[in-house]
Amino acid sequence: MRFKGKTLAGEIMNEKKFTANLLSLIPKIESFIDDVIIIQRPMPVSTMREKIVKNYPNWAIRELMMNAIMHRDYESNAPVKFYQFDDRIEISNAGGLYGKARPENFPNENDYRNPTIAEAMKVLGYVNRFNRGICRVQEELTENGNPKAIFDFDKITVFSVTVQDALYTSEIETIILDNLDTLRNKFRNKFGINSVQIRNKLGEVAYSTLIIIADNPHASASFVAKLLNVTSRTIENNIAVLKKENILERLGSRKKGYWKINPDKLIKKSDDYKYY
């Protein structure tokens, strides 16, 4: 079993490998999650009050790891992988959905590749009541301020889940909101555009979406929507226009890709309200 820490660019910051029988291994993993992965810090709620926020709720990450151990394909040599990035955690295990479980009925329908291991882990208290664990994971994440976990069923032989860091999201939101004018200046200087022309041609929301994405290429529509205080549908519609104009391009998958701005499609300072 391998735990790796990575930056957003993908460089490995640290790595820890666990090898042991399950009874010895699981307590070590629990301690590692609590002592190394989970961090908490005060976040301002108002000028006079703050609250303690964790990057991830302990129970939810523990439950996802226990599921990876319980459901993995033990005929495979691939280890359970736990990658911690600046903004998210990714957990994966060999073996996709099994038996009656399908993408369309997950997590309401469950089946067990390793029924003996599953029963033992349940009796020992390492996993939640069958069919209930994932629902509680989503509830715990929402309560802590994290977006819901995203499960990836695309790879038939691998099951993976991604959880966004609540502290990273909060910090980035604060930084962006405090520095929107700075982002506008950076955008103008980087691409040599006339912001008035962009606003007149595309509108204020599309322009603001561009300057946020230019500084945060991994930003999601919901993230931008929250910053601009509009609906996710509004941002998705504006992104669709930007993509149609070839100003914005998505590289990589929907879940793990990033945005690229095509500078040759932007309005330049010398342009007269036209694209080229």
pLDDT in tens, 260-273: 988 777 765 444 43
Lowest model confidence (mean pLDDT) among 20-34, 118-132, 182-196: 182-196
pLDDT value for 59 = 94
Q: Is the pLDDT of residue 163 over 80?
A: yes
Lowest model confidence (mean pLDDT) among 55-69, 116-130, 233-247: 116-130
Residue 99 burial class via C-beta count within 10 angstroms: exposed 0-12, middle 13-18, buried 19 and up: exposed
Mean pLDDT estimate for the chain: 80
Domain 2-164 maps to which CATH number in 3.30.565.60, 3.90.1150.10, 3.40.640.10, 3.30.1380.10? 3.30.565.60
Q: Is the pLDDT of residue 193 over 80?
A: no
- Which stretches does DSSP call E strand in the chain? 2-6, 12-17, 40-46, 49-54, 81-84, 88-94, 150-152, 158-164, 248-251, 258-261
The percentage of residues in the chain with a pLDDT greater than 70, rounded to a whole number, is 79
- Report pTM: 0.63
pLDDT value for 72 = 92
pLDDT value for 31 = 92
Average pLDDT over residues 197-214: 81
Query: What is the rounded distance in angstroms from the CA atom of residue 95 to the CA atom of residue 37?
Result: 25
Tell me which of 146 and 185 has the higher pLDDT: 146
Query: What is the rounded distance in angstroms from the CA atom of residue 212 to the CA atom of residue 209?
Result: 5
Tell me which of 273 and 189 has the higher pLDDT: 189
Average pLDDT over residues 70-81: 91
Domain ranges of the chain: 2-164, 179-265
When pLDDT is cut at 50, 70 and 90, the band that residue 276 belongs to is very low
Average pLDDT over residues 174-191: 70
Considering the segment(s) 179-265 as one domain, its CATH architecture is Orthogonal Bundle (1.10)
pLDDT, one tens digit per residue, over 127-158 is 865 567 888 999 999 998 888 899 988 777 89
Lowest model confidence (mean pLDDT) among 7-16, 62-71, 137-146: 7-16
Query: What is the rounded distance in angstroms from the CA atom of residue 162 to the CA atom of residue 255?
Result: 9
The percentage of residues in the chain with a pLDDT greater than 90, rounded to a whole number, is 22
Query: What is the rounded distance in angstroms from the CA atom of residue 80 to the CA atom of residue 65?
Result: 9
Residue 31 burial class via C-beta count within 10 angstroms: exposed 0-12, middle 13-18, buried 19 and up: exposed
271, 194 in Cβ contact below 8 A? yes
